[in-house]
Amino acid sequence: MAAISAAETGAKTILIEKGGKLGTKLAISGGGRCNVTNKLPQEEVIRHIPGNGKFLYSAFSIFNNYDIIDYFENMGVALKEEDNGRMFPVSNSAKSVVDTLINRMNELKVDVHLHTPVKTIKYGTHTHTVILQDDSRLKTKSVVIAVGGKSVPHTGSTGDGYPWAKKAGHTITELYPTEVALTSNEPFIKKKILQGLSLRGIALSVLNKNNKPIITHHMDMVFTHFGISGPAVLRCSQFVVKELMKDREEVCMCLDVLPDISHDNLANKINKLCTEQPKRTVKNVLKGLIPERLLAFIFDETDIHDQTKAAHISKDNIQKIVEHIKSFTFTVNGSLPIEKAFVTGGGVATEEIVPSTMQSKLTNRLFFSGEILNIHGYTGGYNITSALVTGRLAGINAAYESFV
């Protein structure tokens, strides 16, 4: 996007790529379908970018998520809206998005250099020099660093850009994984009792050290052999990681399996079911309320015999079942490494970047875009939106500066 925008503005543009092909990360995004942006109102989109999303207000006033939709549709990529405002190509193929961008670069005669790793950048008063791995040099008026973070390294994002930013005087805030699966040492995880169990429409909360919720997400989740994963977990993960960065050894999470029914109403419902079917076992009476494996686990945890007749279950035991369904608390102690995360948290400090142009405040004609910046959002088209918006501004303004 930065290269296209610079070339559209009239600058002679070179795109340097260390890999063998362009758009590798874009091609695998959205499960290979490429969630290009999100159609929620601008305010909501920024709210879904909890890592410095407010920095994007200026950028969004120039080029926003609706402009991204128009941009692709004007280039012939028909888009469709799915749940929660996610926008995908009608083709269901990320390749159609990548190919369209590459074709546009070809039309604009962007000079693309594949298999061309950069060693370093030498910043000057009037020109910058990009020094390649083979020690050859490229002199240029403006540079846009758009090399991603450290997550999904097989796509080429291996943190190369951080030393180049530091060399220009920039602060790199602490890097950490976000949108990542979480690990746990709980006995039921170690014993793999719930491994593979998926739960739909749950509410998952991250608790602070005073056991108060920091954030709650209503989505799906899955128990794994190492801990927990799934959409709700990915969204909660950055809050867990940040708590662990405060020297906490573990963080409590609270799971509400049936968030649409209150604690008291659930207790009344179970009581009514047991009263209406006194001769059946509690296990059979509660079948269908929650997944059977979870029900068996709750019986084990509360020492309730699953063959107990409904007529004989005590109010105390009903409360225990309700507690486990509505507020099952467990601890997590970490996450998978940053390389396994979908998104990198941290990066080039946004305070050092001009928000309306993406230019460095410390080095003239140096621009940043995408995940190298300390901006991160939830999955759902928000990170790609941030990358495309910052890329657009960086490219246009890098071109303007090169004319001066």
What pLDDT band is residue 304 in, cutting at 50, 70 and 90?
confident
**pLDDT, tens only, 3-21:** 999 999 999 999 999 999 9
Give me 103's structure tokens.
């074709």
Q: Please classify residue 139 by burial: count the beta carbons closer than 10 Å to its beta carbon, then call 0-12 exposed, 13-18 middle and 19+ buried.
A: exposed
Q: What is the mean pLDDT of residues 199-206?
A: 97
Domain architecture of the chain: domains with CATH: 2-176+338-403 (3.50.50.60), 181-333 (no CATH)
Say how far apart CA 79 and CA 35 lie, in whole Å: 10
**Full DSSP string of 13-53:** -EEE-SSSSS-HHHHHHHHHT---EE-S-HHHHHHT-TBTG
Q: What is the mean pLDDT of residues 273-302?
A: 91
Q: SS in 3 state form for 343-365?
A: EEECCECHHHECCCCCEECCCCC
Question: Taking the chain, what is the end-to-end CA distance rounded to the nearest angstrom?
Answer: 22
**pLDDT, tens only, 75-104:** 999 999 999 899 999 999 999 999 999 999
Q: What is the mean pLDDT of residues 119-148?
A: 97
**pLDDT, tens only, 225-247:** 999 999 999 999 999 999 999 98
Exposure string of 252-279, with b = 16+ CB inside 10 Å and e = fewer, is bbbbbbbeebeeeebbebbeebbeeeee
Say how far apart CA 322 and CA 263 lie, in whole Å: 7
User: Does pLDDT of 283 surpass 90?
Assistant: no
User: Does pLDDT of 404 surpass 80?
Assistant: yes
**pLDDT, tens only, 39-84:** 999 999 999 999 999 999 999 999 999 999 999 999 999 999 999 8
H or E element: which one contains 102?
A: helix 94-107
Radius of gyration, CA atoms only, the chain: 25
Query: Longest C-alpha distance within the chain, in Å?
Result: 87
Beta carbons within 10 angstroms of residue 20's beta carbon: 9
